[in-house]
Amino acid sequence: MNHQKILELAIQLPERLGPEFIVVPGGRYLAIIHPELGTAALVVSDNREQAKAAAADLTAKSADAGVTAPAMHFGISSGRIEPPWLIRDGSGMAIDIAVAMAKGAQSRPPLGVEAAAKISAAVGGNGEKPDTDNKAVLSPHMVRLAEACVEKALDGRSVWVAGVPIDIKDVASPSFLLPAVLIDAALTWTIPVVARNGNGGFLVRMTPDPKAVLGYRVTGLDASAPLLLFLPFVNIIRRSFANDECILDGTVQRFSDFLSDNGLENGILEDVDVRVAAS
């Protein structure tokens, strides 16, 4: 239950807090990072010791990234509150977090954008060094949000590709299925964005990569708001369900057509059968 709540908050909080906040799932907690206001760890619990332990872990990860940033600790409760650490679960959560972090920042120097990015990478990357070959990569924060969206949309279903079971992370992987899902989402979302005079749009950056399953790797995502990016993302997965399965053949085919229509190489997509099936 706590894990699911953390994933949901990872999607919701960035929209509520605003664009300068970075929210990264850290396993047992959410890391909240702001260039001016510092860092905080949020646990889905009203247990103060758990909240303090999460803050200690975030502080240690920051130190590993070369940044001295003592983290604040937050817990949430649907009943009692104990400011500043125990806050309301619900619509007022973002306000409580922002206010508490702003007060705490009065006695600390600002992090800065570069330090905030280092901490985000340290938390979101799980300490693993990605195999990037010095190429541009999608931020760990965006990858985590994509994984959370996939998990929420699948709702416990197993994931399969060409008859082989794969991890949810592979669906959201920048070098696996993410390019196809995002392009399909972009094509689907174009009409409502145009209707809103361009509000709510997002930009997908890809680069050719012979090591990627579909021949292209996602290197960047820019969105006016994370929520408006991942709504069409989740919709692509959900609309493909049939008899408790999610067949993504159409998504892969639309990705292939997109490459062809734009004069890009898509031969590598031939004979690719993609399926996300229920167990």
Backbone angles phi, psi at 131, to 5 degrees: -85, 85
Q: Which residue numbers in the chain have pLDDT < 50?
A: 1, 125-134, 191-200, 268-279
Tokens of 56: 């200690």
The structure tokens 């174009």 sit at 190
CA triple 158-161-166, angle to 5 deg: 50
Average pLDDT along the chain? 78
For residue 273, what are the contacts with CB-CB under 8 A and spacing of at least 6?
162, 163, 249
Provide the pLDDT for residue 71: 94
Backbone angles phi, psi at 241, to 5 degrees: -70, 140
Domains, the chain, with CATH or none: 2-124 (3.40.1350), 140-277 (no CATH)
Residue from 168, 182, 175 nearest 268 by CA: 175
User: Rounded to a whole number, what is the largest CA-CA distance in the chain?
Assistant: 60
Q: How far is CA 20 from CA 23, 82, 96, 200, in A?
A: 10, 26, 16, 17
Provide the pLDDT for residue 256: 86
Q: For residue range 131-157, what is the model confidence (pLDDT) as tens digits?
A: 444 455 677 777 877 888 888 888 877
Distance in angstroms (rounded) separating the CA atoms of residues 39 and 57? 12
Q: What is the DSSP letter of 269?
A: G
Q: For residue range 49-89, what is the model confidence (pLDDT) as tens digits?
A: 999 999 999 999 999 989 999 999 999 988 888 888 998 88
Distance in angstroms (rounded) separating the CA atoms of residues 89 and 97? 11
Provide the pLDDT for residue 163: 67
- Buried/exposed 205-239: b ≥16 CB within 10 Å, e otherwise: ebeebeebbbbbbbbebebeebbbbbbbbbebbee
Distance in angstroms (rounded) separating the CA atoms of residues 78 and 80? 7
Q: How far is CA 5 from CA 43, 45, 49, 147, 152, in A?
A: 10, 10, 19, 14, 10
74 and 39 Cβ atoms separated by less than 8 Å: no
Residue from 128, 227, 232, 213 nearest 173 by CA: 213
